[in-house]
Structure 1
Amino acid sequence: MEINFDIVVIGSGPGGYIAAVRAAQLGYKTALVEKYNTLGGTCTNVGCIPSKALLDSTEHFHTATTKFKSFGIEVDGLRLDFTQLMKRKNEVVQQNISGLNYLMDKNKIHVIEGTASFLNDKEIQVTKNGEKTTISATYFIIATGSKPATIPGVVIDKKRIITSTEALSLTEKPQSIIVIGGGVIGVEMASIYARIGVKVTIIEYADSLIPTMDKELGKELKKIFSKNEIKILLNHKVQSTVNNGKNVTVHYLDQSNAVQEITADYCLVAVGRSPYTKELGLENTAIELDDKGRIVTNDKLQTKENNIYAIGDVIVGAMLAHKAEEEGVFVVETINGQKPHINYKLIPGVVYTWPEVASVGYTEEELKSENKEYRVGKFPFSANAKARAAMEKDGFVKVISEPKYGEILGIHIMGPRAADMIAQGVIGMEYEVTDEDMFRISYAHPTYSEALKEAYLIASGQGALNI
């Protein structure tokens, strides 16, 4: 086995494998260390990819059961094959893993299976089945990701009290699920199961769903979820969970601080994720952790060891796959002597419910807290011709801009294909295009993107053309 490299990347999630590919492209002798027997990390195996496969499958089923009749499509004997639902998800995951294996071979990246631990700033020890191998490198990139977190009183047993990992691989359809946490993971998992007829209850400590995003998005999502018979308990605090064998009981405090309880087949804990930094041997280096267990880095993403970098979920910032990818490229190009940049305010966040939710830039709440002047342009999909034709009238586009020059400060979308539409907004903000400039370009008709055009127009201080 090769034991000396220019760059060694620890962790093969989106940040790790992208960093490895970029390093190889720039001519570095590169190794990628992964403790599991498949590449891709949480995102590919038990996160982004399988959840989106199930979200797409269940949305097709939900559309068939709720909209086909209005479209003039009669479907007799429609039923859900839960086993096939999961089988397809597994096939999608495997296709992505195969693609990653191909990428590694194509770029001549040495993939080393095993658990990595630093011996010092120049060497790591990789352990697999009790066998230990020492590997040295000029540079290391830590990309070990994160794992599901929990809260006091809630012990994840992976049987009845589960995380998204287990929820993505249930062997039979449950009758009911309690979701602790109304953030991105919680609402996506709630969507998957509610669409196929599972009774879903979300318990959220904050006063809004998706509480880190613009408040109007959370308010609208609650309205849509309630319409789809998802029970939502906001401002409620979970106290404890009990596995009863065949079901689980959750005890919580309601808004009046009275103790309540609810029982369901499963309790899905979706209260966030914590950085995976244990067993990395960081104590054998000068690397420091903050009070949340994240690796401390400077603006170049260097740790306290100048030749060791960290990216993705193990450092400060949103735990997003595409954020980790950007950081992977950023670090490798920095090592290469280039001068890349990342504007963290312009990394979009997406929630793959239906309708989708997408956001970039400042929220209205952030601007208010900073006493910044702004204008808002808001346009509903109910007034969009394409949305009417497709029976996708829920949601809106909200554009926030600076009054004097028209600089776009934030874009928040809840609607069909919001995840794809947000890219246009990111481009406009990256290159400082004004709200009026964004309105004056031509948009095809009829398209969902015309809702963006109208929101830009309203934000610029003019009236909408189609409402």
Structure 2
Amino acid sequence: MNSYDVAVIGSGPGGYVAAIRCAQLGMKTAIIEKYDTLGGTCLNVGCIPSKALLDSSHHYDDAITHFEEHGIEIPGEVKVNLKKMIARKQDVVDQTTKGIDFLMDKNKIDVYHGIGSFKDATHIEIKQGKKTEEIEVKHSIIATGSKPSTLPFIEIDKERIITSTEALTLKEVPKHLIVIGGGVIGLELGQVYSRLGAEVSVIEYMDRIIPTMDGGLSKELQRSLKKRGIKFFTSHKVKEVTRKGTKVTVKADDKKGKEVSFEGDYCLVSVGRRPYTDGLNAEKAGIKVNDKGQIAVNEHLQTNISNIYAIGDVVKGAMLAHKAEEEGVFVAETLAGQKPHVDYNLIPGVVYTWPEVAAVGKTEEQLKETGTKYKTGQFPMRALGRARASMDIDGFVKILADAETDEVLGIHMIGARTADLIAEAVTAMEFRASAEDISRMSHAHPTYAEAVKEAALDATDSRPLHT
């Protein structure tokens, strides 16, 4: 029987990063993955493939909507080859997962393929088909991630009534894609197929899309996507989804209680994700799981069994790949006797639609709820020379700062490349910058980043330079 200092169950961003850091710190490490490829949901059927399709569809959208204005003329009709687009997406996934294989070899991490199940707190069985083997471990890190959620009355057939997983491998562009859920995943995949020619209708239970983000971002994103042809039905409660042949019917009640019916050829169910612990046999190790299906952990990400930890989507908090990565490093360094920290307030959230949406820190709604006195600075992207040059004029940057100390409490942005730009905001807030600090920093011209400086100037004493 092989013995390890650490065994990581699950090879998503949290799991493989935890394994790498453990190995770097001198621990003999194993990683256990249910599927044939490493990388988990994010690399195989989540973050990476969805971004590949978003980028491909963006190129196509630019070609048919903006190229002529840029003075680029394409003879003949611009067409979508969906099969080739999906194949390129898979190439990106394959390259990325092979990169994880390389990192495991480089760091001398033993990789086991199969379902990892606890036999007890220090022994894990790994089952792959008829083959079963057992390893002994001093510490375990559970990083089994999450799966798409559904509603109890919806039967996912994976053909016409689908989750995000199936939406990444469609054989045709839908005529009418009905998206249930106006969160990140539904909007991103909805925009992919909207760009490719599908009619897209988004049905959201809450009164606005991306409801966990700042209200200003929700309003601006909906306005921008609506201009691009996506239809929104907020405050609608879905109550029935049925399929007959190639026709899918969705029935919902609007905010007045009136029944509304939608008909399409595909329905994407995107109502969130649930922690995944199937086959883990957590109870055999004595691990507590809460009523939400999450593994209960303390502030050190330690379960009630002292030598077993859990990270990522399977524990409380936002289901984000980069949050899982930070937690993986945190646990590895904790096991090595170090004293790491994760500031959950400074983990950014991003929506990779176009315009992109990104945020870190407190929302305006949260500050109002806690009675915090704050001031606001905001700057529109359309006032930037860089935005006009690229024709990406939708959006803004909003900075929320403490009314007395001027410390930045939250930064919320929507526009071109804000997914990358949010790192500036995280860095500033990590060092507890004031709005004045940001306003005094030189920002290259012309860039989208200038909107951050201008918003900071507006928050400081209402003195933006370019509005």
TM superposition score normalised by structure 2: 0.99
**For 1:289-343, what per-residue CA distance to the aligned partner results, in whole angstroms no more than 9, with x for missing partners?**
1111100000000000000000000000000000000000000000000000000
Q: Deviations over 1:268-302 (max 9, x none)?
A: 00000000012211111221111111000000000
How many Å separate the matches in 1 of 2:93 and 2:243?
30
Is 1:378–2:371 an aligned residue pair? Answer: no
Show structure 1 runs of 5+ residues with no match: none
2:33 maps to a residue whose letter is: E
Q: 2:404 aligned with 1:404, yes or no?
A: yes
Contact conserved, 1:382 with 1:388, CA < 8 A, in 2? yes
Query: In structure 2, what is the Cα distance between the partners aligned to 1:153 and 1:112?
Result: 37
In structure 2, the partner of 1:249 is 249
User: Contact (CA 8 Å) 2:173, 2:197: kept in 1 or not?
Assistant: no
Name the SS of the counterpart of 1:65 in structure 2: helix
Superposed, 1:380-395 pairs within 5 Å as 380-395=380-395
Structure 2 residue aligned with 1:420: 420
Looking at structure 2, the residues matched to 444 and 265 of structure 1 have their Cα atoms a distance apart, in angstroms, of 47
Letter in 2 for 1:451: A
Which secondary structure state, in structure 1, belongs to the residue aligned with residue 51 of structure 2?
A: helix
> In 2, Cα distance between the equivalents of 1:147 and 1:246?
26
Contact persistence 1:363–1:410 (CA under 8 A): yes
Contact in 2 for aligned 1:34/1:115 (Cα 8 Å): yes
Q: Which residue of 1 aligns with 2:336?
A: 336
Post-superposition CA distance 1:43-65 (Å, at most 9, x none): 00000000000000101111111
Structure 2 CA distance, aligned partners of 1:115 and 1:187? 32
Counterpart residue number, 1:20: 19
**Partner of 2:177 in structure 1?**
177
Alignment partner, residue 96 of structure 1: 96
Distance apart, 1:155 and its partner CA: 1.5
Q: 1:205 maps to what in 2?
A: 205
- Whether the aligned pair in 2 keeps the contact of 1:152 and 1:239 (CA below 8 Å) is no
Match of 1:400, SS state, is strand
| Aligned twin of 2:83 | 83
Deviation, 1:462, is 3.1
- Confirm or deny: 8 A CA contact 1:401 1:459 kept in the other structure: yes
> Which letter does structure 2 place at the counterpart of 1:19?
A
Larger displacement relative to structure 2 (15-24 or 277-286):
277-286
Whole-angstrom distance in 1 between the partners of 2:142 and 2:376:
41
| Structure 1 residue 441 displacement after superposition | 1.0
Q: Deviations over 1:354-406 (max 9, x none)?
A: 01000000000000000000011010001111001110100000000012111
SS of structure 2 residue aligned to 1:68: coil
User: Please, what is the CA RMSD of the aligned residues?
Assistant: 0.8
Query: Does residue 296 of structure 2 align to residue 262 of structure 1?
Result: no
1:461 CA drift (Å):
1.7
Matches within 5 A, 1:133-282: 133-282=133-282
Whole-Å separation in 2 of the counterparts to 1:153 and 1:261: 16
Tell me which residue corresponds to 1:284.
284
What is aligned with 2:42? 43
Aligned-pair identity (%) = 53
Count residues with an aligned counterpart: 466
Contact 1:287–1:304 at 8 Å: present in 2 too? yes
User: In structure 2, the residue corresponding to 1:309 is in which secondary structure?
Assistant: strand
SS at match of 2:205: coil
Whole-Å separation in 1 of the counterparts to 2:78 and 2:157: 35
1:91-118 CA-to-partner distances (Å, cap 9, x unmatched) read 0000001101100111111000000111
Q: Which runs of 4+ in 1 moved over 4 A?
A: none
Counterpart residue number, 1:295: 295
Q: Partner residue of 2:112?
A: 112
Match of 1:73 in 2: 72
How many angstroms does 1:179 deviate by?
Answer: 0.3
Residue 255 of structure 1: CA displacement?
2.2
Secondary structure of the corresponding residue to residue 460 of structure 1: helix
Which secondary structure does the structure 1 equivalent of 2:461 belong to? coil
Q: Give the SS at the match of 1:411.
A: strand
2:197 and 2:39 mapped to 1: Cα distance?
31
Aligned with 1:127: secondary structure?
strand
Question: In structure 1, the residue corresponding to 2:59 is in which secondary structure?
Answer: helix
Deviations 1:94-148 (A, max 9, x none): 0001101100111111000000111111111111112211111000000000000
Q: Tell me the alpha carbon deviations over residues 187-239 of structure 1, each in whole angstroms, 9 at most, x when there is no partner.
A: 11111110111110000000111000001111111111111111100000100
Q: Secondary structure at the match of 2:192?
A: helix
Is the Cα contact below 8 Å between 2:164 and 2:269 reproduced in 1?
yes
Rounded to whole Å, the distance in 2 between the matches of 1:44 and 1:13 is: 7
Q: Measure the CA separation in 1 of the matches of 2:155 and 2:317.
A: 26
Cα deviation 1:162-191 (Å, max 9, x = unaligned): 000000011222211100000011111111
2:32 counterpart letter in structure 1: V
Q: Are 2:128 and 1:128 aligned? A: yes
Counterpart amino acid of residue 74 in structure 1: E
Q: 1:307-346 to 2 correspondence within 5 Å?
A: 307-346=307-346
Comparing 8-17 and 254-263, the one that deviates more: 254-263
1: distance between equivalents of 2:74 and 2:398? 37
SS of 1:412 mapped into structure 2 = strand
Aligned residues of 1:152 and 1:240 also touching (Cα < 8 A): no
Alignment-derived partner of residue 5 in structure 1: 4
Specify the code of the residue in structure 2 equivalent to 1:400. Answer: L
Of 324-333 and 279-288, the range deviating more from structure 2: 279-288
**CA distance in 2: counterparts of 1:259 and 1:404, whole angstroms:** 49
Q: Which runs of 5+ in 2 are unaligned?
A: none
Whole-angstrom distance in 2 between the partners of 1:255 and 1:75 = 46
Distance 1:322 1:359 in 2: 14
The separation in 2 between residues aligned to 1:83 and 1:128, in whole angstroms, is: 32
| Post-superposition CA distance 1:233-264 (Å, at most 9, x none) | 00001001112121211111122211221111
Match of 2:61 in 1: 62
Q: Secondary structure at the match of 1:27?
A: coil
